[in-house]
Structure 1
Amino acid sequence: MKNVKKNLRQELHRYRNHRLNQSAFTALAKTAPQLTDSQRQAMTKLSVNELHVLTALDQPEEQRGADLVSQLDLTQGAISKLVTRLTKQKLLEKYHQPDNRRDTYLRLTPFGKEVAAAHAHYHQVQDVATKKYMNQFSKEELATVTRFLQGLNDLNDSWNDVNQKGSE
């Protein structure tokens, strides 16, 4: 049992590292035929949070930075920094409604839309591969893994709650 737990911890660590690195997304960006070389280069340097902001803004309804705070579970300060960086990279732009100069709205530039589309495609490809992989396990095995991961996520959430209370 000790080796099983050790192997499981190693595999979870490896999984987290894969989820955090963007090598697969970078490879996808390099093969996107509609992008220029400079766009591909810029795209490969985006953080996961920057990609999530672009994906969240790739919606038909108008959105403000405050809307992203609740959608992405990030602070207003973090959203402001991400929006500033993405604006400088010409991936999104800020604008005001003619009858509402108080609220600042955000929208993707054409390049931002291309990146959001590539990111969505990346996740679609990843989802298909994950579903195919999961088919080799029984319903009971998947239920056990799910229960384990839910417990682990609950544990991480409780640590996040402790850390947030400690910083207040």
Structure 2
Amino acid sequence: MNKEEQLIIGVRKLFNQMVWLNKQKMEDSLKGYTPSEVHCVETIAKNKEPNVTKLAESLYMTKGAISKLTKKLMEKDLIESYRKPENKKEIYFRLTEQGKVIFKIHEELHKSFQERDKVVFEQITEEQFDSMLAFVKKYSSHLDAEIKRQGLTIS
């Protein structure tokens, strides 16, 4: 196995370990909400004027899937839709008070996971962080270009 394969397998394993380790705490704290719903709430909270297109791009989902997801979130009273007075066509989303509660719980969980894992990150030098971040950015850009090249759209 070459280093490229080792890295991809290692990243996948790392991601799966994080999901496995965090899963029970997430499910207990966010009972009744799917990971997709919670991540959509998070994306709405962290983006300016999120609409279906922005959400689809951020979450790597189709617009149809986002439409279904936002409908569920509105039914659960986590988000509401609105239009700007100057643009009656485009629909945007914002969190309701209940959505803000779910977002806060999710953020607190992530802080607790960061605190748990701090021991590892404290050992990493600035140079190592910069190198890893550069790799992630480069690989992500490559994958975005490949998605575009293959004509995979968010339609």
Partner residue of 1:46 out of 31, 35, 39? 35
C-alpha contact 1:64 1:106 (8 A) present in aligned 2: yes
**Secondary structure of 1:10 counterpart:** helix
Point out where structure 1 has 5 or more consecutive residues left out of the alignment. Answer: 33-39
Number of residue pairs aligned between Structure 1 and Structure 2: 153
- What residue identity is the alignment partner of 1:7? Q
TM-score for both structures, normalised by structure 2: 0.65
Q: Deviations over 1:88-117 (max 9, x none)?
A: 223223456899876655443333221111
**Secondary structure of 2:31 counterpart:** helix
- Aligned equivalents of 1:99, 1:140: Cα separation in 2: 47
Q: Deviations over 1:47-102 (max 9, x none)?
A: 1xx3233224447x8x4635844883665434322211211223223456899876
C-alpha contact 1:29 1:118 (8 A) present in aligned 2: no
Tell me which residue corresponds to 1:158: 145
CA RMSD, Structure 1 to Structure 2 (Å) = 4.0
Higher RCO by CA contacts (8 Å cutoff, separation 6 or greater) = 2
Q: Deviations over 1:12-49 (max 9, x none)?
A: 12134356x4762551452x4xxxxxxx4213x231xx
After TM superposition, the runs of 4+ consecutive aligned structure 1 residues lying more than 6 A away are 96-101, 165-168
* Percent identity of equivalent pairs: 21
Select the structure of larger CA radius of gyration.
1
TM-score for both structures, normalised by structure 1: 0.61
- Aligned equivalents of 2:95, 2:154: Cα separation in 1: 34
Tell me which residue corresponds to 1:149: 136
Tell me which residue corresponds to 2:108: 121
